[in-house]
Amino acid sequence: MISTGNDIIDLSRIDVQRTKQERFYSKILSQAETDGYLTNGLVNLPFENFIWLLWSVKESVYKFSKRRFPLLVFSPKRIITGLISSPLEDHLPVFEERECENFSLKKKDCYCCIINTETGQYYSRSKVYNEIIYTVVSETENFDDIWWGIKYIYDVSPACQSESVRAFALEKFKEIYPNSKLSISKSPVGYPVLNVNENAMKTPLSFTHHFRFVAYSFVYNSTMISKDIF
């Protein structure tokens, strides 16, 4: 069963001082993971961003796994992140656009990590901007079939976040399924399901939102329809 998982952190909403307290981050990271800040040479990243980067990776892995294991409970310390590599240019870019989609998830452009859990091994690609941290997870090192998008929203109410991320993803699906009736529903487990002409697709789809930002990820390539994977 193919899956996807993504997560976004709006850095304007994090409590920087609290994040840097051991009492806080020790609930999320093991000692070895914390030490990775130095051993992986990530010191160009502010320490609080490092903590939230790993949170984002762990949350994405959880979402990926939850589709396969519906009873799974989010337990950040049971999701173990390994070696983390930095993008070639590791300054923090500004998220300048109101929305962006499908920029490179190549290794050289992202923070990359291998993650191990009781449910398997996963790979992550994270983009860190001045304003946000965004992560997508895959079970292979190939991210070519992963589609993703991030959008800035003005109304941060829960209803608007939910509505905005659905509309944003549906705009992208319209390019793949032109002239079809598209909608998104929710599975009993809680993950989003794409419906095409009122038929539930198997397209793995993941939504995330945090305050001013919403994002989606899904897995798609042109052979999927012909192979009846959907």
Partner 1 sequence: MKKMDRQVILNELKKVLVPYTLNKEALNNINEQTDLIKDLKINSANLVDIIIDAENQYHIEIDMDSAERISNVGNCIDVIIEKMGSPN
Site string for partner 1, 36-65 (x = CB under 8 A): ----------------x--x---x------
What letter represents residue 169's amino acid?
A: A
Cα separation, 206 vs 167, whole angstroms:
13
Site string for partner 1, 75-94 (x = CB under 8 A): xxx-----------------
Cα separation, 212 vs 131, whole angstroms:
10
- The yes or no reply on residue 158 touching partner 1 (CB under 8 A) is yes
Report the site for partner 1 in 87-126 (rule: CB under 8 A): none
State the nearest-atom distance from the C-beta of 85 to partner 1, in Å: 24
Indicate the residue among 151 and 210 with the shorter CB distance to partner 1: 210
What letter represents residue 76's amino acid?
A: P
State the nearest-atom distance from the C-beta of 99 to partner 1, in Å: 20
Cα-based distances in Å from 19 to 13, 55, 105: 11, 11, 27
Answer for the pair 29, 21: CB distance below 8 angstroms, yes or no.
Answer: no
Of the candidates 106, 96, 110, which has an alpha carbon nearest to the alpha carbon of residue 53? Answer: 110
- The yes or no reply on residue 15 touching partner 1 (CB under 8 A) is yes
Cα separation, 29 vs 9, whole angstroms:
17
Cα separation, 114 vs 140, whole angstroms:
10
Site string for partner 1, 196-225 (x = CB under 8 A): -------------xxx--------------
Binding site for partner 1 (CB under 8 A): 9, 13-15, 18, 23-24, 27-28, 52, 55, 59, 73-77, 156-158, 190, 209-211
